[in-house]
Chain A
Amino acid sequence: MKKGADLPDDHHVMRYVPWSKLLKDEDENVIGFLAQAFALRPNEESLSVNWLEYFGGDRKANIRDSVLEFRRTLTSIGRKSAFGIANVKKIRDTCSATAGVKVRVVYEPSRKNPAHSCIRRLPLDDLTLLDALAADAFSELVRNSDVKSIS
């Protein structure tokens, strides 16, 4: 796939979510993601994700390989952190239905991370949309501690 191309509807992306942006109960049991996990920083134009199908394996292998790629490329990844997985079409539909925003989910590989992709045209600070992404689009959660490194 060429850089800048839209990812196929039936493919999936994975986002890293640090501990401070996980939805927890008062006893720190992880329930899901906070809306703030999908907020852009002021200096960001798009939301970084990994394209799962880039890795070419079955679903379980793709998840493992993507997590390993995150560990390899990010500065630090906490043991208690997690990863959110979303279907590409679900992301687009959620943004359209919730906020009337037509986002693009685009392949944007970097030299460090060939699976890197991004969600473009997200509003900077629409809490309703972010909550919908957190609860409805990124509906699968994988704990970092559950993915073993390859030794």
Chain B
Amino acid sequence: MSDKRNPVPAPGKEITSGGGFNFRLPWVPPYAKARTIGEHVLLTLPASSTPYQSLFKSTMTDDALTVSAWSASNSSVFSDDTKLIERRIGELRNPASPASLFASANNSLEERLFDATASVKILTAQVAMHLDREWRNKLFAQLDSLHDLEEWDPDDEPIQAGSFATFLKAMVQIKPQRRPGLGLSHSGYLVAAWTSGKNRLTIEFLQNDRVRWVLARYTDDDVERFAGQTSVSRLIDGLAPYAPDAWFSK
């Protein structure tokens, strides 16, 4: 699933965000089709020899297997049986539509956008305890919106999981009361922006715990701009001289 054109790492691969803050994408079985509903990732598995196949056989089709996985409640405190039941309930609540199960095989851009979005949603689930549900839902909606196929510039790259891991680490550290608007660079780096009147703070989240930021402050007809590049662990200190509470606080 990982190649030069699509920087989304394969499930199971560890993403290092630096500073001892690592994410590991959960292992997922090979899947033929996947989609998301809220914070759930629905995987349509190809017919295979898994012993659970008969248990999971989709109610919508006869030859595909649909599993709902990695909700925020998918914690290690639950037994495998409990997780299995939870997934099954999720599936029954949100059955995949027949149309989505039999999507054309030639929609590779759509699949790339989906894969990228699903990967970062899975990452989010791993730090779900640090994000309230409202923000998580809003964040997922923003990610879906950024990767809307109808709005997509075909020369751009989907979001990079490493960039998103850096973003999550920054948000956990900053804990902004005001949530940012989101964008993407050409290379698939997540961009978060806060505005207060005309004043604006923009942070671009790079791989490996690196960020670069630029801010603009207006006074009458004059404007001051400052920019920097640093690690997430130094971001708060780097912004401190510019009173970032104007953007982060309500």
Contact = CB atoms under 8 A, between A and B. Distances in A.
Contacts of B145: 19, 28
Contacts of A24: 181-183, 193
A130 B193 CA distance: 14
A79 B183 contact: no
Interface string A9-36: 0000000001111111110100100111
Interface in A72-92: 75-76, 78-81
A95 interface: no
A41 B181 contact: no
A41 B185 CA distance: 10
Contacts of A35: 202, 214
Chain A interface, >50% SS class = mixed
B183 A23 contact: yes
Contact of A26 (B155, B179, B191, B198): B179
Nearest to B135: A26
A39 B185 contact: yes
Contacts of A76: 150, 152-154
A132 B195 contact: no
**Interface residue tally on A, bucketed by range:** 20 to 34
A81 B154 CA distance: 14
A20 B178 contact: no
Contact of A19 (B148, B185, B212, B213): B148
B61 interface: no
A98 interface: yes
**Which of A28, A80, A132, A135 has the most chain B CB atoms closer than 10 A to its own CB?**
A135
Contacts, number: 97
A36 B191 contact: yes
Interface string B204-231: 1000000011101000000101110000
A27 to B, nearest CB: 8
A34 B153 contact: no
Contacts of A22: 183
Contacts of B185: 36, 39
Nearest to B159: A20
Contact of B151 (A23, A75, A81, A127): A81
Contacts of A135: 198, 200, 216, 223
B181 A26 contact: yes
A127 B153 contact: no
A119 B187 CA distance: 21
B73 interface: no
Given A19-B146, A79-B150, A25 B155 contact: no
A20 B156 contact: yes
A98 B151 contact: no
B156 A34 contact: no
Given A36-B186, A41-B186, A26 B178 contact: yes
B100 interface: no
A96 interface: no
A75 B150 CA distance: 11
Interface string B73-117: 000000000000000000000000000000000000000000000
23 contacts: A19-B145, A20-B152, A20-B183, A23-B183, A24-B182, A24-B193, A26-B178, A31-B181, A34-B191, A35-B202, A36-B185, A76-B152, A76-B153, A79-B150, A79-B151, A80-B151, A81-B151, A127-B204, A127-B212, A128-B226, A131-B202, A131-B216, A135-B200
| 8 closest residue pairs by CB, A with B | A78-B151, A24-B181, A19-B151, A26-B179, A20-B184, A18-B153, A127-B214, A128-B227
